[in-house]
Amino acid sequence: MPHKPLARSKPTSRLPDLPPLSFKKADLALDIRRHFNCTLGRNKFHKSAYYSYAALALTVRDRLMERWKNTQYAYKDTDCKQAYYLSLEFLMGRTLGNALLNLGVEEPVEGALHDLGIALEELIDNEVDAGLGNGGLGRLAACFVDSCATLQLPVMGYGLRYEYGMFRQHIENGYQIEEPDHWLRNGNVWEIERPELTVRVRFGGHTEYYEDHDRSRHVRWVDTRDVLAVPYDIPVPGYRNGTVNTLRLWKAAATDEFDLNEFNAGDYAGSVAAKNSAEHISMVLYPNDASENGKELRLRQQYLLASASLQDIIRKWVARHGEDFSTFAEKNCFQLNDTHPSIAVAELMRLLMDEHDLPWDEAWNITSRTMAYTNHTLLPEALERWSVRLFRQLLPRVLEIIFEINARFLAEVASRWPGDLDRIARMSLIEEGDEQQVRMAYLAIVGSFSVNGVAELHSNLLQQGLFRDFHELWPHKFNNKTNGITPRRWLAWCNPDLAALITATIGDRWITDLSELGKLAPYADDPDFRERWRQVKRANKERLVAHKKAELALEVDPDALFDVQVKRIHEYKRQLLNVLHVIHLYDRIKRGDTANWTNRCVLFGGKAAPGYVMAKRIIKLINNVATVVNGDPACDKLLKVAFLPNYRVSAMEIISAGADLSEQISTAGKEASGTGNMKFMMNGALTIGTLDGANIEIRQEVGADNFFLFGLTAEEVEAARAHYDPGAIIEGNEDLKRVMHLLEAGHFNQFEPGIFDAIVQSVKSPWDPWLTAADFQSYVQAQRRAAEAYRDQDGWTRMSILNTAASGKFSTDRTIGEYNRDIWKLEPVPAPSVE
Ligand code: 26Q
């Protein structure tokens, strides 16, 4: 046979794109086995199910890849405007189940696994949570990226790839013990390292002024100690729409020349140590969810995120447009998740001026038209301030720019309110005092065109209180965006039986249009439907008990009222008020006041910041009360109490589906929004709550009859402070008096005298910021109403259905729709079909 040369195109080192992969059960099974044997190098003798999980995850990831690539091509081709969500936290939880759901491949995958003799559920439990966040703010970011992909919006998340996420919590003798969360130990199949996109971030050094050939003045930031930021990309699939967006997380790494310099100086060990200090930056998530503590490492983290992300975006811009920034503001938008990344305001100015030669006014025009800031807290102690001294040492050039922004801003204030020096001092980005401080929230407001709160009440309080002066100056900047949760993870995925019942009743459009749930309301009066609803809830309660069996270590009656408070432990959230009620129930049992009793199982869960002594002591109190109650035969079925250790995203997926009563009992005016409240409501729990955060909107949506309201309003709270007298309240309330007496008598700490003294004192203090005693009576009454309502199972189930039916507003699809309509103004980009 004559030799026939192969037809070839010009040789290149690049590979062409792969044709689409199959979703057929047999092909999936083959790929799972191939990944298990080839990619992961395991064989049939390997015991751990982890690598079976990893093989499945890789098989699913392969299918995401082509959609991911096509989505990114589409963004490039359409040259669309893009938004960037900058956040120090993305609390993603597990990825596999969500990817299966959003790709719509649960069925063939379960089939493939079945043929291999494996149960999907077993594999799913092998994935460790990506706990790269503290709580609400971090989980909100995760729900947001899900909704952005589902709405086909070109939005990218930027965060940090912490080596250690939120600590793991153990309970020993009732005390919280923290353990490091080395979540990457076995690798992370969901991330793709992109070393080719590494950027350099500067720290330290000093600034120099020099004149250009045309005598224009420029600034050089020199003698810096640089750190590299290496991106790791995680795919974020939309719900069955072909779109896959990107979450880009930065890992800090040492530069090569850094090592070399030290090495040449003969200090090899020193060079490795220096490498270490660079890599420390992305080592660990700070586990405080409220008060900042001014640590240098935290500022380094914030700057690394801001600088690396902005450089990444600008590099992309320059590759396409060269040094022409005239349309940059029309094509880019940055959403700042609280003040944590707000240094981006000054960093964008620096990059545009020092690295791209723009004059101040042009750079400012771009910055103040692209930055948008979301506030998540009213607690004054949570407002970020950084000492000017630390700033000067770590980021001297950035500090100069902040001073210049401030000078120009204060000139504007002075011209609007001539001679009002108080106002200038109040509004300055620099707080004067023993030690000058940069007020990061003010930097964010001045540099942004949009400032939003996260629930109606919270946004109003921001405008009237914390940011009053700024609202007076720029009312048009302020707006509200009530939080939400993604209905994919928080209903379709975590509550498959309820989801199936809903879909069988009203169709499945609710998954991407949650207002459709409203169609369930008429069924609340249908006895058949109610019965099926009740059975699903009951099964979910059993699933919860089964899942937490080891941790509960007690018999729980699934017919009892499951009364649940899971969230970070914080005084303003008032887990203590809940404990006081539990003690009151115990006291009623002990004195025989149990006529018309409702059996109740009270569940707590949540982590305390390791340095927050009071919060940790509250955990101890919960556990000690649980020990006494559960150990007392008189309580038997009537009352059970448990603290569920290591509360996290994957735990909430089980807990929210199995709850009857959702505790949302913060001191009014303190919880910005809350999002756990929405997860419970969507899964058919009723809320007992104050008029705080999004509780107000939840009650509005579901109706006052289907919500157990108690407590002072935010306004009443502020008015009550002046004459607050908890001593008199305790004296005047027999129930509270007895509860306090049990506590003070050491009834719950017989072997550890004195450990609850500080807690007792906090309740009795006229300066108790959380007014716990003030709301006790009203809370106990609301709990009585809830208990009575639960005794009428039909009535309760009716209210449960109405809660789910009214939860449509609390989808992040609605929230993101509003961000996009009012702030980002992006066009959706349809994904090209893969087939
Ligand atoms: C700041 C500086 C240094 C170290 C840590 C921090 C820090 C970290 C996390 C400060 C605050 C947080 C987290 C705040 C948070 O989760 N806030 C919650 O945000 C939710 C989403 O908007 C709201 O629903 C909650 O009401 C709010 O408490």
639-685 pLDDT, tens digit each: 999 999 999 999 999 999 999 999 999 999 999 999 999 999 999 99
What SS3 class is residue 659? coil
Position with higher pLDDT, 554 vs 441: 441
385-403 pLDDT, tens digit each: 999 999 999 999 999 999 9
Is the pLDDT at 238 greater than 80? The verdict is yes
Find all residues with CB under 8 Å of 4, minimum gap 6, and list them.
Answer: none
The candidate with the shortest Cα–Cα distance to 115, out of 14, 235, 30, 226, is 30
Give pLDDT, residue 418: 97
Give pLDDT, residue 572: 98
Is the pLDDT at 6 greater than 80? The verdict is no
Give pLDDT, residue 258: 59
What SS3 class is residue 72? helix
Banded model confidence at residue 47, pLDDT cuts 50, 70, 90: confident
Catalytic-labelled residue, pool 675, 687, 797, 812:
675
Q: Is 576 exposed, middle or buried (0-12, 13-18, 19+ CB in 10 A)?
A: buried
| Gap between the Cα atoms of 361 and 21, Å rounded | 51
Output the pTM of the full model. 0.97
CA of 378 to the centre of ligand 1 (A): 10
Give pLDDT, residue 344: 99
CA of 90 to the centre of ligand 1 (A): 12
CATH superfamily of this structure's domain 505-807: Glycogen Phosphorylase B; (3.40.50.2000)
The percent of residues above 90 in pLDDT, for the chain, comes to 90
Banded model confidence at residue 275, pLDDT cuts 50, 70, 90: confident
| Gap between the Cα atoms of 768 and 726, Å rounded | 9
Banded model confidence at residue 4, pLDDT cuts 50, 70, 90: low
Question: In testing the pocket of ligand 1, which one of 376, 439, 461, 607 has its CB within 8 Å of the most ligand atoms?
Answer: 376
Query: Does 505-807 match 290-483 at the fold level?
Result: yes
Q: Which atom of ligand 1 is nearest to the CA of 295?
A: 3
Q: Which residues are bridge partners to 179 per DSSP?
A: 168
Query: Count of alpha carbons within 13 Å of 673, Cβ hemisphere only?
Result: 26
Output the residue whose Cα is nearest ligand 1's atom 8. 289
The number of residues making up the chain comes to: 835
471-510 pLDDT, tens digit each: 999 999 999 999 999 999 999 999 999 999 999 999 999 9
CA of 646 to the centre of ligand 1 (A): 19
Rounded to an integer, the average pLDDT of 185-200 is: 97
Banded model confidence at residue 14, pLDDT cuts 50, 70, 90: confident
Question: In testing the pocket of ligand 1, which one of 87, 342, 377, 698 has its CB within 8 Å of the most ligand atoms?
Answer: 377
Cβ atoms 394, 204 nearer than 8 A: yes
Catalytic-labelled residue, pool 532, 573, 616, 617:
573
637 part of the active site: no
What SS3 class is residue 628? helix
Query: Pairing relation of β-strands 450-453 and 430-431?
Result: unpaired
Q: Which atom of ligand 1 is nearest to the CA of 135?
A: 16
303-317 pLDDT, tens digit each: 999 999 999 999 999
Q: Which atom of ligand 1 is nearest to the CA of 339?
A: 1
Catalytic-labelled residue, pool 139, 161, 458, 568:
568
Indicate the average pLDDT of the chain: 95
Q: Which atom of ligand 1 is nearest to the CA of 458?
A: 26
CB count within 10 Å of CB 329 equals 17
741 part of the active site: no
Output the residue whose Cα is nearest ligand 1's atom 21. 137
Write down the CATH number for the domain with range 290-483. Answer: 3.40.50.2000
573 part of the active site: yes
677-708 pLDDT, tens digit each: 999 999 999 999 999 999 999 999 999 999 99
Is the pLDDT at 555 greater than 90? The verdict is no
607 part of the active site: no
Rounded to an integer, the average pLDDT of 715-730 is: 97
Give pLDDT, residue 265: 65
Give pLDDT, residue 263: 59
Output the residue whose Cα is nearest ligand 1's atom 24. 674
675 part of the active site: yes
Residues with CB under 6 A from ligand 1: 134-137, 140, 286, 288-290, 292, 298, 376-377, 382, 384, 454, 483, 671-675, 693
560-613 pLDDT, tens digit each: 999 999 999 999 999 999 999 999 999 999 999 999 999 999 999 999 999 999
Of the ranges 23-37, 97-111, 113-127, 287-301, which one carries the lowest mean pLDDT score? Answer: 287-301
139-162 pLDDT, tens digit each: 999 999 999 999 999 999 999 999
Give pLDDT, residue 270: 73
CA of 567 to the centre of ligand 1 (A): 12
Is the pLDDT at 719 greater than 90? The verdict is yes
Give pLDDT, residue 773: 98
CA of 615 to the centre of ligand 1 (A): 16
Q: Is 816 exposed, middle or buried (0-12, 13-18, 19+ CB in 10 A)?
A: buried
Catalytic-labelled residue, pool 61, 81, 248, 376:
376
Q: Which atom of ligand 1 is nearest to the CA of 693?
A: 26
Q: What kind and span of H or E run contains 653?
A: helix 649-655
825 part of the active site: no
CA of 2 to the centre of ligand 1 (A): 73
CB count within 10 Å of CB 555 equals 11
Token representation of residue 600: 């109740």
Find all residues with CB under 8 Å of 108, minimum gap 6, and list them.
Answer: 23, 24, 25, 28
| Gap between the Cα atoms of 546 and 566, Å rounded | 18
Alpha-helical regions (H) of 192-332: 256-264, 268-279, 296-321, 328-331
Give pLDDT, residue 217: 81
| Gap between the Cα atoms of 597 and 594, Å rounded | 5
Domain boundaries, the chain: 290-483, 505-807
The residue ranges of DSSP E strands in 430-505, in sequence order, are 430-431, 437-439, 450-453, 478-480
Phi/psi at 822 (5° precision): -95, -25
Is the pLDDT at 380 greater than 90? The verdict is no
Banded model confidence at residue 208, pLDDT cuts 50, 70, 90: very high
Cα distance from N-terminal residue to C-terminal residue, the chain: 39
Token representation of residue 37: 């044997």
Is the pLDDT at 2 greater than 70? The verdict is no
Catalytic-labelled residue, pool 67, 340, 397, 567:
567
| Gap between the Cα atoms of 103 and 105, Å rounded | 6
The candidate with the shortest Cα–Cα distance to 373, out of 403, 344, 412, is 344
Q: Label residues 377-387 b or e (16+ Cβ within 10 Å = b).
A: bbbeebbbbbb
Rounded to an integer, the average pLDDT of 58-87 is: 97
Give pLDDT, residue 268: 74
Give pLDDT, residue 279: 92
